[in-house]
Amino acid sequence: MIDFTQCKRIIGKAYNGANGKKIAIEYEGQQYMLKFPPSAKEKPTELSYTNSCFSEHIASSIFNMLGIFTQETMLGTFEVNGKEKIVCACKDFTTDGKVLYDFCSIKNTVIDSEHNGSGTELSDILETIEKQQFVEPRLLLEHFWNVFIVDALLGNFDRHNGNWGFLFDTISQTSELAPIYDCGSCLLPQADEKKMQRVLEDEDELNSRVYQFPTSAIKQNGRKISYYDFLMNLENEECSDALIRIVEKFNMNQINDFIGEVPYISELQKEFYKKYISARYEKIILPAYELVMRQCEQEEHSQSAMYLY
């Protein structure tokens, strides 16, 4: 357990974002962004984001387990006006001359696009991926769908164009994919322990949070994408390829062991996170994967039959 209260504050470094305050500190010679959970006065709706720091740390760690380069995170405490708050420390990857350009900014460079950078229509995003000149398009497309699948697994309802992107090295004048960051909207951060208990005890409550909410922030024909419907309809070949890649790396035992060691959360919370992730895998990811594999087998059989003919 780490107390960040006495860490050196880094002046002149500020961070964007709507949910909770953020400050820059130095910890063990490295620069970190501390993310604070929003207070009750900051909540714009009835949703409570008090678990967003836990979501940030757990989701980021699972992204890394699944082979997707993601920010390094730690949980710790910080004292504010005599009150101890649990915070998530995210290692700052915008150091050594590197500048973060989010996808929203990159999308705005595609001047013949019909929509601005913040638009999350899937067809528009895919067009931008193809036309942008910062990262090789095939690499970026693969990355986009890998992230989409893990967001589906973790129930991320807010992967918009402002929270993923590229790093530009001002020294070498080169670009690369930025680590995945801003995962605080995964794993139902608005759920308090009463809601978690209901989900654990009631299959209907669980199913509603698997099949109905959350949806993706990405839209298709103006409507937010249902993860289940999109994956089960085999909407996109590159998405299906990503599904295979992620399932091959998925290890629920590893995830359970990790959650069991997460500090500051109760046994009920640990049980909830384990069951929620397992349910989304078994009810969304695995059925879609099995459908893709059956389709692949049918295509291989058809090609073999044509060859023999």
pLDDT tens across 95-114, in order? 888 999 999 998 888 856 66
pLDDT of 167 reads 95
Other CB atoms within 10 A of residue 307 CB: 7
DSSP run (H or E) holding 167: strand 165-169
pLDDT of 259 reads 98
What domains can be seen in the chain, in order of their start residue? 8-91 (3.30.200.120)
Q: What are the tokens at 45?
A: 């709706």
Cβ(142)–Cβ(154) under 8 Å?
no
Q: Which of 212, 303, 268, 204 is nearest to 54 (CA)?
A: 268
Cβ(40)–Cβ(178) under 8 Å?
no
Task: Round the average pLDDT of the chain to a whole number and report it.
Answer: 91
pTM over 0.85: yes
Pairing between strand 73-80 and 8-9?
unpaired
The torsion defined by the Cα of 268, 274, 278 and 281, in degrees rounded to 10, comes to: 120
Span 64-89, average pLDDT: 95
Phi, psi angles (nearest 5°) of residue 84: -85, 125
Q: Which residues pair with residue 91 across a beta bridge?
A: 32
pLDDT-based confidence at residue 302 (cuts at 50, 70, 90): low
CB-facing half-sphere around the CA of 261: CA atoms within 13 A: 7
* Exposure string over 186-222, b if 16+ CB within 10 A, otherwise e: bbbbbbeeeebeebbeeeeebeebbeeebbbbbbbee
Q: What are the tokens at 248?
A: 């091959």
Query: For the chain, what's the residue count?
Result: 309
Other CB atoms within 10 A of residue 228 CB: 19
DSSP run (H or E) holding 28: none
Span 251-258, average pLDDT: 98
